[in-house]
Copies of this chain bind each other. A is one copy, B any other.
Amino acid sequence: MRTKQEILAAIAPDLEKIEKTLSQNFASYVPFINEVSRHILFAGGKRLRPLLMVLSARLCGEPTSPRTYRLSVLFEYLHAATLLHDDVVDGAQFRRGRKAAHHLWGNQAVILVGDFLYSRAIRIAVEEGNMDVLDVISETTTLMSEGEVLQLINLDNVELTEESYFEVIFRKTAALMAAACEVGAIHARGNSWERPALKAFGTYLGYAFQITDDLLDYLGAKDETGKDIGTDFKEGKVTLPYIIAMERANPADREELIALIKEKEAATPENFRRACELLEKYDAFDATRQKAREFVDKACEELARFDHSPTRELLTDIAQYVLTRKS
């Protein structure tokens, strides 16, 4: 398996083309929209979703062209639109190490620029001129908005089950990665099994990615993730580590876990530290890591259906990297 540096070197040429395409295409007739878009689009995003699309297309034998990169950036626009609306929703202070957009321009502007980026994404899909692509995208955005609503409804629901948790993360994260991979296959005119295989790969990878993200909210370091730590917890957002601990805890510890996450208004670093202690006590972090690993394994099984190739190896390494990432 390659190191992070080796993976970055291998994807550098594609990333460069994605960056270039992004900076050429987001422009609006309204300068203010460009300012806000630039803030969210060029704040050190990993470009994982466009990259997944490009690599999926290549895996199906497509010689990547400017059209491929052009199509790929729609996934970054969709992702950015979600981040903007999500920031308003969560009231996050930081995003990718910078002040969240709504703290700079207010909720109102941020919502509307999110709408603009979303429209622009659909526009790119329309320009591709392939109804299958539009079918996938419109299905995906519906799922994504449902996922965000579900997440909001589930706030403070300390009885959230693993099943409900997976339902949410499928919609809010896995669906878009699945779409990126599936659209890559469609763009490359992939055959009857390639398209569903890449869709499944993206789905499993998305689960693993979100689970790791939720783990990083407990265990990450702000200077590496660029996000505040413990924000999910402070907002009463129940994620897998907490759910697992709740399943395993004795009645007294369950009581304490519930009290800790419900104390939102007066949440102190001490609350969060104590919660981490309890999650550690029940091996919730290890169990969560294990769950993420299972999804990565499933993702790699889908890749194994394809012939051996440098692109297959690279996608496999990216999937493995998701587990060890620190940001």
Contact = CB atoms under 8 A, between A and B. Distances in A.
A119 B141 contact: yes
A276 to B, nearest CB: 27
B88 A108 contact: yes
Given A33-B149, A88-B108, A149-B112, A119 B135 contact: no
Contacts of A146: 28-30, 33, 116
B107 A123 contact: no
Interface string A140-160: 011011101110110000000
A30 B88 CA distance: 21
A48 to B, nearest CB: 21
Interface string A144-188: 111011101100000000000000000000000000000000000
Contacts of A149: 30, 32-33, 109, 112-113, 116
Looking at chain A's contact residues, is the secondary structure mostly helix, strand, loop, or mixed?
helix
A138 B112 contact: no
A134 interface: yes
Nearest to A123: B138
Interface string A88-132: 110000000000000000011101110110111011011001010
B85 A145 contact: no
A262 to B, nearest CB: 19
Nearest to A90: B108
Contacts of A144: 115, 119
Nearest to A153: B32
B85 A111 contact: yes
B131 A129 contact: yes
Interface string A54-98: 000000000000000000000000000000010011000000000
A277 interface: no
Query: How many residues of A sit at the interface, in one of the four size bands?
Result: 35 or more
Contacts of A134: 122, 126, 134
B108 A152 contact: yes
Interface string A18-32: 000000000011101
B107 A107 contact: yes
Contacts of A112: 85, 89, 145, 148-149, 152
Contacts of A129: 131
Interface of A: 28-30, 32-33, 85, 88-89, 107-109, 111-113, 115-116, 118-120, 122-123, 125-126, 129, 131, 134-135, 137-139, 141-142, 144-146, 148-150, 152-153
Given A116-B149, A123-B139, 9 more contacts: A30-B150, A32-B149, A115-B144, A116-B142, A116-B146, A118-B141, A120-B142, A122-B137, A125-B138
7 tightest Cβ-Cβ pairs between the two chains A and B: A116-B145, A115-B145, A119-B141, A119-B142, A89-B108, A123-B138, A122-B138
9 contacts: A29-B146, A30-B149, A30-B150, A85-B115, A109-B152, A112-B149, A119-B142, A123-B139, A131-B131
